[in-house]
Amino acid sequence: MSALRIAESIVLTPLRVGLGGLMLYAGLLKAQDTLLFANAIKAYQLIDPYTDAHAITTLAYTIPWAEMLCGLALILGAWARGAGLLLAAMLAAFAWGNWENWGGTCTCFGSSDPFCGAQPIGECHMLRNAGLGAAALLVAWRGAGLWGLDALLSRAKARRAARKTLAVASADAVDRAAASP
Amino acid sequence: MIAATGREGLGTVLTRSIALVALAGGAGLVHSLFEAPLVLTLQAAPAPAPVPDPVPTPVPVPVPNTDPAQPAEVSTPTATDAAAVAVPAGPEKLDAAAAFALFDQGAQFVDARRRELWLEGRVAGAWQMIPAELRNMQDAPHVGDALAALDPGATTVVYCVGGDCEDSVNVAILLQAAGFTDLRIMGASFEDWQNAGYPTESGDPAGAGGMP
């Protein structure tokens, strides 16, 4: 366990837990009021509600759960790189939506946005998305760090493999000793 | 670029991302089973300025309550993006006979079905437009022709494929936003109209893509 890896984990752990918590919160808010979120998606006017209403409904139910699952994965440090990548992609899509609706209303965190409050979509929202997206990309790149489930499982797997190798080597040594005159 | 720094390769990372999307979709599907369906319906714009035409009091667009068990409604932007107000639930949709009575009195008809269906057959004299075309008229020049030809003050009957189809209501609401004051919805389908032996026509009229 190198000092560099420990230092990296000291940065990654609070980052992923904080990001995961935020995403879990954002997803929960949306999932609690799917209708409000569907309205928000429609208000962006990126999907035609006359011809593609089903797409709005699908997104209104899928996005909150994707956020919650990614949040949970990041907090636990399980599948953290996959969750970070998905989150980065989602945040990029949200940023595009915000860009297209500059000055509109963002319901990204329901009615209680911890970053930008109730102000219309603008620089604050873009900066927030960029910051969260950068954090998600960092997790996607470096993983959960030493104290996530991914690393714990990986270490447990490595220990099992080492024990198996050791057992095989010991058995070989015993066999060789027994075979020697 | 995402570099594979641990045991996971990029393929595994991507697979897990896709798996998370699939899980979210599944969870969303289950979630949707426990909630009232999200009914995407239109809301009308405020009544337009009175048309300088001595017509009777404007009648609100009748919007049938197609499923009272689904209280959830999502507002939809109107063509004018004006502040929306709810359209009150109105009288029943017109049946074919009632619509024909209006036809006989000179009402104008609007077909809110797809153009290919309109070409196959329509109420005689009916113009064609669907909600998406009304909202993006630059992509549907025939809608501009129709709006230029239709009289906003005259009785206008809108129909679609019958049953629970909403396009007639959506078109009517958009027409109301465009200044039409006496809009009616025919609940009967074109087929009902045709089977009743009322006047029909078909084919692509020459010229602007509207009516002959």
- pLDDT digits over B145-176, tens only? 888 899 999 999 999 888 767 788 888 888 88
- Does pTM top 0.90 for this prediction? no
Q: What are phi and psi of A167, to 5 degrees?
A: -65, -40
Between these two residues, A8 and A180, which has the higher pLDDT value?
Answer: A8
Q: CA-CA distance, B116 to B84, in Å (whole number)?
A: 32
Tell me which of B142 and B199 has the higher pLDDT: B199
Q: Which residues pair with B74 in a beta bridge?
A: B40
- The mean predicted confidence, pLDDT, of chain A is 88
Q: Are A74 and A147 in contact (CB under 8 A)?
A: no
pLDDT in tens, A114-130: 888 878 888 999 999 99
In angstroms, rounded to a whole number, what is the distance separating the alpha carbons of residues A96 and A44? Answer: 11
**Closest by Cβ to B20, choosing from A50, A73, A142:** A73
A 5-34 residues inside an 8 A Cβ radius of B:
31, 34
**Mean pLDDT in residue range B77-82:** 36
Listing DSSP states for A92-145 in one string gives HHHHHHHHHTTTS---EEEE--TTTTTPPSSHHHHHHHHHHHHHHHHHHHH-S-
Q: Which stretch, A75-84, A109-118, B36-45, B91-100, has highest mean pLDDT?
A: A75-84
Q: Which residues does chain A have within 8 Å of residue B77's beta carbon, measured at their own beta carbons?
A: 42-43, 45, 49
DSSP B163-207: TT--HHHHHHHHHHHTT--EEEEE-S-HHHHHHTT--EE-S--SS
Q: Which residue of B has its CA nearest to A138?
A: B2
A32 CB burial (10 A radius; 0-12, 13-18, 19+):
exposed
pLDDT band at residue B206 using 50, 70 and 90 as cut-offs: low
For the cut 60, the answer to whether the pLDDT of residue A34 exceeds it is yes
Please give the distance of CA B105 from its chain centroid, rounded to a whole number: 25
| Tokens of residue B179, six digits | 């200044």
Give the pairing type, strands B122-123 and B200-201.
antiparallel
In this complex, the residue of A48, A61, A69 whose CB is nearest that of residue B132 is A48
pLDDT at B195 over 90: yes
B195 to B30, B126, B136: CA distances (angstroms): 43, 17, 33
Does B143 score more than 60 pLDDT? yes
Interchain CB contact of B86 with A (< 8 Å): no
What does the pLDDT read at residue B7?
A: 58
Residue B157's φ and ψ, nearest 5 degrees, are: -105, 125
Q: What is the 8-class DSSP label of residue B139?
A: G
Pairwise CB contact (< 8 Å): B76 & A49: yes
Residue B43 has pLDDT above 50, yes or no: no
Task: Give CA angle at B82 (B79, B88), nearest 5°.
Answer: 90
Query: Residue A12 and residue B5: Cα distance in Å, rounded?
Result: 14
Least confident stretch, A81-85, A101-105, B206-210: B206-210
